[in-house]
């Protein structure tokens, strides 16, 4: 019997029941795993209140306070005040846990009729998944994109405030254009509404003292970082220089001095050479690249610093304001320090030019005095002479441009040059087997081969040292020779243009006379003779003398020293010195009336309040020392001096000794003893016996050979025995005893 076929309707009903059963099983399984989200979604308001869970308060056992708790409460009384306002009853209430907010799902698609799609749509909206509103950007309700804030302004009442500015879109601006054309705005609408302006509280500015303290702390911190790591922290030097723009003069001075101290420590001992294009294009190691960058930055900052100093020196050199003068002196101090410590570094030409430019003045100020001390220190410490040569050229050029209208102390700087001085040799101990006498057991044993190699190495080292010394000596002599030419050229030009610097130039020539080439003696003596002759003409015409007593003495002593230079006597030179001799004899009597003839800077003496305050031009030697030097050249460095001339100068020296101060009188008596002991024929001038003479003695005749000095009597030592000074009196007695024996 064939099986009975089911109808199509029955089969479809069975299939539907199977699908429903399967979906029910799936639904029950999923609902068991989750927290029944369907109940939360489909529940009404009444069911939500009933299903709220309550959170029970934790039950803690009461415990007594410990000593630590009490101490903690005592220390934090100010911060635990809120505990007094707490109510235990409110804390004991049960807290109800609210339900989750309803999930607003997207509307189900009406096109999906199957239950499987409904289940997928239902379970896809899990509470853990991000909803679409979570992806939207948050916007503050009070935010207005068209409103922008501006800087504070001052209203008509004087209060500070901020005005809100509404920025309209292009569309709104276009729509408002037609309205603006129709109706023109009034003046009241154009003004800013003061009521809409919100007052702003500005920070209180720091006081001057607080700002200065803050700047000091910042500078100290930056300088410390730079000194700790100059390569990495060099950029802080720009911050220190930036504080120079401050309005406080104290801050500017601190910035300059701090930068000076930093540069003095980090400037290398060599000059940084600029790189060529080939060197820049070549590949180098990382360390070399870092060092090149550091050196380049250092040069830029150093140049910036020198520019600031140059600006100060140019603008504030003639200022009368006390604050500006203090800033100017600070800049001078920085320049002086750099001249002494950084003369080898880059931009030293600019540094020297700044210093020399400040000396181009007739006045002697505190700043010029500091610069002169720095230059003198540099001259005395320069061994190779390269730096001295550059400074000498700058000084000579500056004085020539100023037509030698500078302070005399500027020309005296040349007297401190180390010209052709012998270099000190350093004695070094020998090394190895031949290092001094040693006992045989203390000597290091060398094999024959090692001893030969040691000798060869020692010979090579010796040759290298000699070569280096020869090169250094040649450079030094060449530099000093060029400097000497520039110095003498300046001296000669000063002599041709008589002025206040003649005395200083004469003393400089006398100082370096042994270095002058013999070919220039005739020209130099002719220039000196013109000075002497011109001065004699002025005195004879009863005009104002062109030279002072000191300048005249310097002229004579310079000429005599040139002639008496070592080796000049062996040359057959016909030199006429009569004009210098006449000039010296004519100024002996006026010079003895000068009470400051032996005054030096080291002498302790009160200044005459009625005397004019005239600065001394040359402070190296006194006038009395120059006179003694002239006697030395005339009579002790000459083989056969003229006896008549010698007697005239001896009588003039004795007469001058009566008027000279105590120290100069003692020097004159000492010189008389030497003259009378060497030239015994002059001792008859101490006797008053009758003798045949050429006539009456005339002390005021210009020519010493025509004054009849052989008829004179040297009675001055007899008068000096009664001098108020016991030293002078005893010296006069000794002179008479030594000549009468």
Q: What is the mean pLDDT of each run of 10 residues along the chain (741 residues)?
A: 45 46 48 43 43 55 76 79 71 58 48 50 50 69 64 71 56 50 48 48 69 87 89 87 86 90 89 85 87 89 91 87 90 92 89 91 87 91 86 92 89 83 40 48 71 82 68 76 88 82 83 76 80 58 56 85 65 69 88 81 64 54 87 83 88 90 90 89 80 76 84 87 90 84 59
Backbone φ, ψ for residue 408 (5° rounding) = -60, -30
Gap between the Cα atoms of 295 and 263, Å rounded: 13
User: What per-residue string of b and e applies to 702-714 under the rule 16 or more CB within 10 Å gives b?
Assistant: eebbebbbbbbbb
Find tokens 């209180």 and name the residue. Answer: 204
Task: Specify the 3-state DSSP secondary structure of 165.
Answer: strand
Nearest to 327 by CA among 223, 240, 260, 255: 255
Backbone φ, ψ for residue 613 (5° rounding) = -85, 90
Q: What is the pLDDT of residue 58?
A: 61
Alpha-carbon torsion 502, 504, 510, 515, what sign?
negative
Q: Which domain holds residue 266?
A: 207-276+285-319
Q: What is the pLDDT of residue 16?
A: 46
Is 55 a domain residue?
Answer: no
Supply angle C-alpha 90, 94, 98, rounded to 5.
120
Q: What is the pLDDT of residue 199?
A: 53
| Residues facing residue 149 across a β-bridge | 164
Is 228 a domain residue?
Answer: yes
Find tokens 């002229």 and name the residue. Answer: 555
User: With contact defined as beta carbons under 8 Å apart, do 506 and 555 qualify?
Assistant: yes
Is 450 a domain residue?
Answer: no
| Residues facing residue 154 across a β-bridge | 160
Find tokens 């030497």 and name the residue. Answer: 674
Is 687 a domain residue?
Answer: yes
Nearest to 238 by CA among 255, 257, 261: 255
Q: What is the pLDDT of residue 10?
A: 46
What dihedral angle (degrees, nearest 10) is formed by the CA atoms of 146, 148, 154, 156?
A: 0
The residues, ordered by sequence, that sit 6+ positions from 392 with a Cβ below 8 Å of its Cβ are: 414, 417, 483, 486, 487
Nearest to 636 by CA among 677, 668, 606: 677
Q: Is 318 exposed, middle or buried (0-12, 13-18, 19+ CB in 10 A)?
A: exposed
The residues, ordered by sequence, that sit 6+ positions from 512 with a Cβ below 8 Å of its Cβ are: 419, 484, 487, 488
Q: What is the pLDDT of residue 488?
A: 87
Please tell me the total count of domains within the chain: 2
Task: Specify the 3-state DSSP secondary structure of 563.
Answer: helix
Tokens of 268: 């290398």
Q: Catalogue the E-assigned strands of 153-208.
A: 153-154, 160-161, 164-166
Tokens of 110: 């009406």
Q: What is the pLDDT of residue 241?
A: 87
Specify the DSSP element, H or E, that contains 161.
Answer: strand 160-161
How many other CB atoms sit within 10 Å of the CB of residue 446?
A: 14
- From the CA atom positions of the chain, what is the Rg in Å? 53
User: What per-residue string of b and e applies to 331-363 under the rule 16 or more CB within 10 Å gives b?
Assistant: bbbbbbbbbebbbebbbbeebbbbbbbbbbbee
What dihedral angle (degrees, nearest 10) is formed by the CA atoms of 74, 79, 80, 83?
A: 160
What dihedral angle (degrees, nearest 10) is formed by the CA atoms of 584, 589, 592, 593?
A: -130
Is 310 a domain residue?
Answer: yes
Is 54 a domain residue?
Answer: no
Specify the DSSP element, H or E, that contains 326.
Answer: helix 322-341
Gap between the Cα atoms of 364 and 615, Å rounded: 10
Task: Specify the 3-state DSSP secondary structure of 368.
Answer: helix
Backbone φ, ψ for residue 108 (5° rounding) = -70, 145
Find tokens 């410490």 and name the residue. Answer: 381
Is 601 a domain residue?
Answer: no
The size of the chain, in residues, is: 741
Backbone φ, ψ for residue 13 (5° rounding) = -65, -40
Is 296 a domain residue?
Answer: yes
User: Alpha helix (H) ranges present in 541-577?
Assistant: 549-563
Q: What is the pLDDT of residue 328?
A: 92
User: What per-residue string of b and e applies to 199-220 under the rule 16 or more CB within 10 Å gives b?
Assistant: eeeeeeeeeeeebbeebeeebe
| Residues facing residue 279 across a β-bridge | none
Task: Specify the 3-state DSSP secondary structure of 430.
Answer: coil
Q: What is the pLDDT of residue 397?
A: 92
Find tokens 């109706």 and name the residue. Answer: 183
User: What per-residue string of b and e applies to 373-394 under the rule 16 or more CB within 10 Å gives b?
Assistant: ebbeebbeebebbbbbbbbbeb
């Amino acid at each position: 019997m064939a099986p009975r076929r089911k109808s199509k309707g029955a089969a479809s009903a069975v299939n539907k029941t199977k699908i429903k059963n399967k979906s029910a099983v799936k639904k029950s399984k999923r609902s068991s795993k989750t927290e029944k989200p369907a109940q939360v979604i489909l529940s009404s308001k009444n069911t939500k209140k009933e299903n709220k869970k309550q959170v029970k308060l934790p039950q803690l056992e009461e415990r007594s306070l410990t000593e630590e708790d009490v101490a903690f409460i005592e220390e934090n009384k100010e911060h635990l005040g809120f505990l007094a306002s707490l109510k235990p009853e409110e804390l004991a209430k049960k807290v109800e846990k609210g339900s989750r907010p309803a999930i607003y799902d997207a509307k189900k698609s009406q096109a999906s009729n199957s239950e499987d799609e409904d289940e997928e749509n239902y379970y896809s909206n899990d509470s853990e998944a991000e909803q679409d509103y979570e992806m939207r950007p948050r916007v503050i309700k009070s935010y207005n994109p068209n409103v922008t804030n501006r800087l504070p302004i001052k209203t008509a009442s004087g209060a500070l405030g901020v005005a809100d500015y509404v920025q309209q879109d292009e569309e709104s601006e276009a729509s408002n254009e037609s309205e603006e054309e129709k109706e023109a705005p009034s003046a009241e609408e154009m003004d800013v509404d003061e009521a809409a302006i919100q007052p702003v509280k500005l920070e209180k500015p720091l006081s001057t003292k607080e700002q200065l303290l803050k700047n000091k702390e910042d500078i100290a911190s930056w300088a410390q970082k730079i000194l700790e790591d100059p390569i990495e922290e060099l950029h802080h030097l720009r911050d220190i220089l930036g504080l120079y723009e401050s309005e406080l003069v104290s801050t500017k001075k601190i910035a300059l001095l701090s930068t000076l101290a930093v540069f003095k420590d980090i400037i290398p001992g060599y000059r940084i050479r600029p790189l060529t294009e080939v060197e820049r294009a070549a590949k180098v190691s990382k360390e070399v690249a870092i060092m090149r960058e550091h050196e380049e930055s250092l040069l830029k900052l150093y140049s910036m610093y020198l520019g600031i100093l140059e600006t100060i020196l140019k603008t504030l050199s003639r200022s009368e304001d006390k604050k500006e003068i203090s800033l100017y002196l600070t800049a001078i101090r920085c320049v002086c320090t750099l001249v002494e410590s950084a003369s080898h570094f880059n931009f030293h030409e600019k540094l020297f030019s700044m210093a020399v430019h400040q000396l181009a003045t007739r006045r002697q100020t505190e700043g010029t005095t500091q610069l002169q001390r720095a230059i003198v220190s540099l001259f005395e410490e320069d061994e190779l002479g390269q730096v001295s040569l550059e400074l000498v050229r700058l000084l000579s050029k500056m004085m020539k441009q100023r037509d030698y209208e500078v302070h005399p102390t500027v020309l005296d700087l040349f007297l401190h040059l180390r010209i052709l001085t012998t270099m000190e040799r350093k004695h070094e101990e020998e090394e190895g087997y031949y290092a001094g006498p040693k006992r045989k057991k203390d000597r290091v044993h060398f094999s024959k081969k090692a001893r030969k190699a040691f000798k060869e190495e020692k010979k090579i080292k010796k040759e290298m040292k000699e070569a280096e010394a020869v090169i250094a000596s040649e450079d030094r002599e060449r530099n000093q020779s060029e400097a000497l030419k520039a110095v003498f050229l300046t001296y000669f030009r000063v002599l041709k243009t008589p002025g206040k610097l003649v005395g200083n130039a004469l003393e400089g020539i006398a100082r370096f006379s042994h270095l002058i080439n013999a070919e220039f003696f005739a020209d130099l003596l002719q220039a000196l003779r013109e000075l002497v002759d011109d001065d004699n003409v002025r005195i004879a015409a009863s005009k104002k003398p062109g030279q002072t007593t000191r300048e005249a003495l310097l002229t004579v002593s310079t000429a005599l020293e040139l002639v008496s230079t070592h080796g000049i006597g062996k040359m057959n030179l016909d030199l006429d010195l009569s004009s210098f001799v006449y000039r010296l004899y004519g100024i002996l009597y006026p010079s003895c009336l000068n009470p400051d003839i032996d005054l030096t800077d080291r002498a302790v003496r009160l200044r005459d309040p009625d005397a004019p305050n005239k600065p001394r031009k040359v402070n190296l030697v006194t006038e009395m020392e120059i006179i003694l030097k002239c006697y030395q050249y005339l009579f002790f460095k000459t083989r056969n001096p003229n006896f008549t001339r010698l007697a005239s100068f001896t009588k003039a020296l004795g007469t001058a000794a009566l008027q000279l101060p105590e120290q100069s009188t003692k020097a004159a008596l000492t010189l008389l003893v030497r003259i009378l002991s060497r030239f015994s024929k002059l001792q008859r001038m101490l006797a008053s016996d009758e003798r045949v003479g050429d006539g009456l003695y005339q002390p005021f005749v210009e020519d010493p050979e025509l004054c009849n000095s052989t008829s004179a009597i040297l009675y001055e030592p007899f008068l000096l025995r009664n001098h108020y000074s016991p030293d002078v009196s005893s010296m006069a007695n000794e002179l008479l005893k030594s000549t009468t024996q």
